[in-house]
């Protein structure tokens, strides 16, 4: 879920970059206009993803874990030594 949200936020950021730099709205270009129902759904999904990613990042104290797996500790009988 976080990875999908992160990708949507990146795509939304690229769309805003294109709007600001090239005056071209990629989403509206695909679906015709900004008022088209499909364009509005895409805008809503990207906006919800950005709120979700911001919320998860705040909950995790500034850290965003995109993948849910954890690293396993190696227990081979040796202790870590500082050099």
Q: What is the value of pTM for the model shown?
A: 0.68
- Is residue 39 within 8 A of residue 28, CB to CB? The reply is yes
Per-residue pLDDT of the chain (83 residues; tens, 9 = 90+): 778 888 999 999 999 999 899 998 888 898 888 888 998 999 999 999 999 888 888 888 877 777 766 666 666 655 555 54
Domain ranges within the chain, ordered by starting residue: 2-59
Quote the crossing angle between the two packed helices 2-22 and 37-59, to the nearest 10°: 120
């Amino acid at each position: 879920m976080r990875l999908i949200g992160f990708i949507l936020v990146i795509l939304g950021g690229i769309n805003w970059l294109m709007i600001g730099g090239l005056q071209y709205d990629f989403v509206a270009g695909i679906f015709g206009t900004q008022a088209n129902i499909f364009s509005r759904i895409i805008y809503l999904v990207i906006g919800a993803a950005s709120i979700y990613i911001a919320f998860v990042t705040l909950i995790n104290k500034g850290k965003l874990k995109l993948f849910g797996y954890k690293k396993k500790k190696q227990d081979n009988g040796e202790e870590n030594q500082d050099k």
